[in-house]
Amino acid sequence: MTPGTRTLISPAALARPRGKALYWTVFTAVVVLFALAFLFPVYWMVTGALKSPDEVARTPPTLLPEHWHPGGYTDAWELMELPRHLGNTLVQAAGAWAFQLVFCTAAAYSLSKLRPAFGKVVLGGILATLMVPAQALVVPKYLTVADLPLIHTNLLNDPLAVWLPAVANAFNLYLLKRFFDQLPRDVLEAAEIDGAGKLRVLWSVVLPMSRPVLGVVSIFALVAVWQDFLWPLMVFSDTGEQPISVALVQLSQNVQLTVLIAAMVIASIPMVALFLVFQRHIIAGIGAGSTKG
Amino acid sequence: MTKTAERRPVAHPPVPPPPTPAPAGRRRRRLADQARAYGFLLGGLLCFALFSWYPAIRAVVISFQKYTPGSPPEWAGTANFTRVLDDPEFADAWRNTLVFTLLALLIGFAIPFVLALVLNELRHAKAFFRVVVYLPVMIPPVVSALLWKWFYDPGAGLANEALRVVHLPTSHWTNGTGTALVSLVLVATWANMGGTVLVYLAALQSIPGELYEAAELDGASLLQRVRHVTVPQTRFVILMLMLLQIIATMQVFTEPFVITGGGPENSTVTVLYLIYKYAFLYNDFGGACALSVMLLVLLGAFSALYLRLTRTEGDT
């Protein structure tokens, strides 16, 4: 927002002494409210993991750990096999991202620039899936993954069970197609006149011009897999293959509270770090694409 | 870009206007174009067919079958639907889901709107507020669910401790049949509010300032300005988010599964949770699909409404 932009309250009203006092009161109240509502729970989690098991169960609780026990974190790392589960999540997320980038980009490019016969029908069928809430279809999707039609392969406990369904993401595909639609046709045609094939045009002309949308799609793809719970809970019954989200819930009953809390902190770090690094892009993206809630 | 510009003159001379090819050649060329177009499309198309279109059809088919993995399915008529409808948990699950959705609308809607309204007036630390409000969204949902489960702990939980600090009576939170659902709504609101606030903020910033100036000249008070300028100007976004939120909250699963396990006394069993139970606890995939179809029809109607609204708005 530019400094001069007028909002609900006029700058003149804010410049008056009473307006100023009121503004700073509200400002302080909001800062305190935000700190209590959003930062304090996170603080409580990070420090809770540093307390001893006795201290964490004490009432009234201590605001600061009396003695620092980083042992909670090391125990979580080893007892709950966090490296393995974090690794599983990473493999699942990275694969889903790669599959989506390759197949969604290729399909969006074809629908946008190559005029396939029945392209409108295909696009309609893809957009129709936006109306079908994903979670309502998990059971038939699970049955499909457990026994793929025609080739009768079982993908359960295989990362492919996450990678392949991730490609069927109508929102990301549509985002890419809309972006490709806006690319100037004469630039692509110029490349073709120079003798570039379709793949070459996609790789050397379309993709370099599409960096912003590729970034948005990448973040959506990574976050979706990292945060998912119900689908991996269904398809990874094998403990060794479970991502961190499923493993946390499955193990939550069998470990000490401080160890569990430490594991929760560790599980949150990658996405929070991603957010802090790309916060400007993510926040701008949410504001711009208000269609996604 | 410079590369193509350099190469263009070289490529130009040898491109004579192609002599009109024989019909057979043109057809072959068109076939080759189509083959190439579908080559690019194939991977995505297969995934959509396998994991979106086929499961949607299958949900309907299996809902009329007696289906056990491994043995050939038998037709069951409407037996799955009647069995599911007779299940006492069915009414519980739908009631809980609807109440959850309604409460999420009341709590998770008024609060972000007011918050966005206030944030839009603040001239300092803008980036800080946006990052902090969105932070819970980036924490994995499983972690926020486990975190709040700990907060709601009747013993050393933070929630009751906070009530004690301000001398209020403590609550059973997720352990009371009357309070469990509301407690879960609070978790979902805390975890998801950031996105709503940011979308509202974007909408508020698109309101032309002259409207407020004109209203002020006409003597409109602060509340009147909110009522007659802000709300009408953001009505479309409000409606959109409301529909999206209904669609999302009707599919709630993680919070009840992780925090309460559907209890106490089924007071937090949701429709999706019941679907999960039918499939993985009772091994009754026919019943699970019958339930899925019901959820699908209801949510599909909401989605259709959402898409229609966005399309008509896009046209104007």
**Using 50, 70 and 90 to split pLDDT, how confident is the model at B19?**
low
How far apart are the CA of B91 and the nearest CA of chain A, in angstroms?
18
Residue with token string 């959003």: A38
Q: What is the mean pLDDT of chain A?
A: 89
Which pLDDT score, from 0 to 100, does residue B292 have? Answer: 94
Shortest distance between the Cα of B251 and any Cα of chain A, in A, equals: 6
Rounded to a whole number, what is the distance in angstroms from the first to the last CA of chain B?
Answer: 36
Cβ-Cβ contacts under 8 Å, A109 against chain B = 40
Query: Do you find a cis peptide bond into B264, omega within 30 degrees of 0?
Result: yes
Which distant-in-sequence residues (6+ apart) come within 8 Å of A135 by Cβ? A230, B251, B253, B272
Cβ atoms of residues B226 and A8 within 8 Å: yes
Mark whether A215 and A243 lie in a shared domain.
Answer: yes
Is residue A108 domain-resident?
Answer: yes
Query: For residue B152, what pLDDT is reported?
Result: 93
pLDDT band at A136; cut points 50, 70, 90: confident
> CA A63, CA A266: separation in Å to the nearest integer?
21
User: What secondary structure letter does DSSP report for A157?
Assistant: T
Do residues A202 and A106 make contact, with C-beta atoms less than 8 angstroms apart?
yes
Same domain for A115 and A51: no
**Is residue A4 a part of any domain in this protein?**
no
Considering only CB atoms, which chain B residues are within 8 Å of A14? 123
**In whole angstroms, what is the distance from residue B142 CA to residue A268 CA?**
10
Q: Of A60, A84, A32, which Cα lies nearest the Cα of A251?
A: A84
Cβ separation B54–A39 shorter than 8 A: no
Contacts of B129 in chain A (CB under 8 A): 30, 34
Same domain membership, residue A178 and residue A59: no
Of the pLDDT bands very low, low, confident and very high (cuts 50, 70, 90), residue B108 is confident
More confident residue, A288 or A12: A12
Out of B37, B248, B288, name the one closest to residue A139 (CB): B288
Q: How confident is the model at residue B3 (pLDDT cuts 50, 70, 90)?
A: very low
Backbone angles phi, psi at B157, to 5 degrees: -70, 145
3-state class (DSSP) for residue B75: strand
Q: Which residues in chain B have Cβ-Cβ distances shorter than 8 Å to A115?
A: 33, 37
Distance from CA of B16 to the nearest CA of A (A): 12
The nearest alpha carbon in chain A to B280 belongs to A234
What string of H, E and C letters represents the secondary structure of B257-309? HHHHCCCCCCCCCCHHHHHHHHHHCCCCHHHHHHHHHHHHHHHHHHHHHHHHH
Answer yes or no: do A231 and A120 share one domain. Answer: yes
Nearest chain B CA: its distance from A115 CA (Å): 7
Contact A7 B204 (CB under 8 A): yes
Residue A140 lies in a domain: yes
Closest residue on chain A to B224 (Cα)? A8
Q: Which residues of A touch B245 (CB under 8 A)?
A: 293
Same domain, A20 and A118: no
> Do A63 and A89 fall into the same domain?
no
Other beta carbons within 10 angstroms of residue B102's beta carbon come to 13
Whether residue A261 and residue B161 make contact (CB cut-off 8 A), yes or no, is: no
pLDDT attached to residue B313: 60
By residue count, chain A amounts to 293
Asked if the Cβ–Cβ distance from B139 to A272 is below 8 Å, we say: yes
Residue of B48, B80, B241, B283 for testing the chain A interface, max A β-carbons within 10 Å:
B48
Average pLDDT over every residue of A2-8: 65
Do the Cβ atoms of B124 and A27 come within 8 Å? yes
Question: Which chain B residues are within 8 Å of A7, Cβ to Cβ?
Answer: 120-121, 204, 207, 209, 212
Amino acid type, A227: Q
Give the pLDDT score at B253.
94
Q: Which two tokens stand for residue A146?
A: 């457990």
Tell me whether residue A93 is in a domain. yes
Structural domain boundaries enclosing A162: 81-254
**A48 and A95 share one domain:** no
So what's the ipTM on this one? 0.91
pLDDT reported for residue B42: 93
Whether A41 and A92 map to the same domain: the answer is no
Q: In the prediction, which pLDDT does B26 show?
A: 80
What chain B holds in terms of domains, given with CATH numbers, is 55-86+286-316 (no CATH), 95-283 (1.10.3720.10)
Q: Mean pLDDT: which of A167-176, B29-38, B154-163, B233-242 is highest? A: A167-176
pLDDT at A289: 56
For chain B, give the mean pLDDT: 86
B225–A116 C-beta distance less than 8 A: no
Task: Identify the band that residue B189 occupies on the pLDDT scale cut at 50, 70 and 90.
Answer: very high
Same domain, A101 and A234: yes
Cross-chain residue pair A133–B69, CB shorter than 8 Å = no
Residues in B closer than 8 angstroms to A114, CB to CB, are 33, 36-37, 40
- Number of domains forming the structure of chain A: 2
**CATH number of the domain to which A162 belongs:** 1.10.3720.10
* Subunit contact B52:A144, Cβ cutoff 8 A: no
Chain B residue with the nearest C-alpha to that of A164: B47
Q: Is the pLDDT of residue B4 over 50?
A: no
Note the pLDDT of residue A45: 94
Percent of chain B with pLDDT strictly greater than 70: 91
Is residue A289, in this structure, part of any structural domain at all? no
For residue range A14-51, what is the model confidence (pLDDT) as tens digits?
Answer: 888 888 899 999 999 999 999 999 999 999 999 999 99
Q: Which has more pLDDT, B167 or B6?
A: B167
Per-residue confidence at A10, pLDDT binned at 50, 70, 90?
confident
Residues A47 and A169 grouped into a single domain: no
Compare all CA atoms of chain B with the CA of A275 and give the residue at the minimum distance: B138
Q: Are residues A153 and A218 in the same domain?
A: yes
* Residue A272 maps to a domain: no
**pLDDT at position B6, please?**
40
- Among A72, A96, A124, the domain boundary falls at A72
Tell whether A288 is covered by a domain: no
* B253 contacts on A by Cβ (under 8 Å): 135, 229-230
Q: How far is residue A282 from each of residues A175, A268, A288, B214, measured CA to CA in Å?
A: 15, 17, 10, 34
In the predicted model, is pLDDT for residue A153 greater than 80?
A: yes
Q: Do B280 and A117 touch (CB under 8 A)?
A: no
Q: What is the pLDDT of residue B1?
A: 37
Contact B271, B97 (CB under 8 A): yes
pLDDT at A58: 83
Q: Which amino acid, A184?
A: P
pLDDT tens readout for residues B142-154: 999 999 999 998 8
Q: How far is B289 from chain A (nearest CA, A)?
A: 7
What pLDDT sits at residue B222?
A: 87
Q: What is the mean pLDDT of residues A115-127?
A: 90
Residue A264 belongs to some domain of the structure? no
pLDDT of B18: 53
Whether A287 sits inside 8 A of B198 (CB atoms) is: yes
Clarify whether residues A27 and A155 are in a common domain: no
Rounded distance, CA A180 to CA A212, Å? Answer: 12
How many A/B residue pairs have CB atoms within 8 Å? 321
- Mutation to test the A interface, candidates B29, B30, B51, most A Cβ within 10 Å: B51
pLDDT in tens, A194-214: 888 888 889 988 999 998 889
Average pLDDT of span A209-230: 91
Beta carbons of B196 and A293 less than 8 angstroms apart: yes
Residue of A nearest to B293 (CA): A136
Contact A34 B132 (CB under 8 A): yes
SS3 A82: helix
